[in-house]
Chain A
């Protein structure tokens, strides 16, 4: 199967920017996603990027895609305490299946 890897933990000070990185292996990925999971809840789609794009910005969120290196990142500007959660990177192949990374636990400290 496809491999999606991301670092497991990130600690950031409130007000700073957070950057969460992800690498994937499937070169046929059509879409790449970032999901947020708060404690005890399901996954919430934050943003996604089509594989022929380099960057997508949505308010405080910026997604960068380096297709050559198969590297995806999510930048959260002005990180707030409400941003504390687990963030999952996922890729979607041509047959619509999603492959997820293990998730990055983001802790925002005052």
Chain B
């Protein structure tokens, strides 16, 4: 199993551009989520999904869209990038009812100029 994969690893955008951060897992996990990590603030939940076709907002959803058309994939879309979205983005997955198996991807470092 590859676990949780994220692409790209690094990305630079100009203000106003749009892009999609990709996340995939091959463990048949029901629960997937996106976090952003900023210095001194830990990880903040952007959006999450408890299964294919179901998504919900987390703590900081503004400026981001998600969809979950398959169990494996959970892409995060930036509609119109802003400098405030400069951050490191982590995708995570887990079997919904399991407490001890939370898997994080390696992260995507995004810079918005």
Which A residues are closer than 8 A to B by beta carbons?
Answer: 1, 4, 8, 30-31, 33, 35, 41-45, 48, 50, 88, 90, 92, 96-103
User: Nearest-CB distance from B64 to chain A (Å)?
Assistant: 16
- When the two chains form their complex, are residues A1 and B59 in contact, meaning their CB atoms are under 8 A apart? yes
- When the two chains form their complex, are residues A42 and B104 in contact, meaning their CB atoms are under 8 A apart? yes
Known interface pairs A30-B99, A33-B102, A48-B100. Does A96 touch B31 (Cβ–Cβ under 8 Å)? yes
Residue in contact with A42 in the complex, picked from B42, B48, B100, B105, CB distance below 8 Å: B105
B50 / chain A contacts, CB cutoff of 8 Å: 96
Q: State whether the Cβ of B40 lies closer than 8 Å to any Cβ in chain A.
A: yes
- When the two chains form their complex, are residues A97 and B90 in contact, meaning their CB atoms are under 8 A apart? no
User: Nearest-CB distance from B30 to chain A (Å)?
Assistant: 10
Query: How far is it, in angstroms, between the C-alpha of A90 and the C-alpha of B45 when the chains are bound?
Result: 12
- When the two chains form their complex, are residues B40 and A100 in contact, meaning their CB atoms are under 8 A apart? no
Known interface pairs A8-B40, A42-B90, A42-B105. Does A98 touch B99 (Cβ–Cβ under 8 Å)? no
Q: State whether the Cβ of B75 lies closer than 8 Å to any Cβ in chain A.
A: no
Q: How many A-B residue pairs have CB under 8 A?
A: 53
Q: Would you call the interface of chain A mostly helix, strand, loop, or mixed? A: strand
A42 / chain B contacts, CB cutoff of 8 Å: 4, 90, 104-107
B105 / chain A contacts, CB cutoff of 8 Å: 42
- When the two chains form their complex, are residues A101 and B99 in contact, meaning their CB atoms are under 8 A apart? no
Knowing that A30-B99, A41-B107, A97-B48 are A-B contacts, what are 8 other residue pairs whose CB atoms are under 8 Å apart, sorted by A's residue number?
A: A33-B102, A35-B104, A41-B106, A42-B104, A43-B90, A48-B100, A97-B45, A98-B33
| Chain B, range 1-37, C-beta contacts under 8 Å to A | 4, 31, 33, 35
Query: How far is it, in angstroms, between the C-alpha of A64 and the C-alpha of B82 when the chains are bound?
Result: 41
User: Nearest-CB distance from A1 to chain B (Å)?
Assistant: 5
B41 / chain A contacts, CB cutoff of 8 Å: 102
- When the two chains form their complex, are residues B96 and A96 in contact, meaning their CB atoms are under 8 A apart? yes
Query: How far is it, in angstroms, between the C-alpha of A79 and the C-alpha of B80 when the chains are bound?
Result: 45
Q: Convert B94-113 into 0s and 1s, putting 1 for each residue whose CB lies closer than 8 angstroms to a CB of A.
A: 00100111111111000000
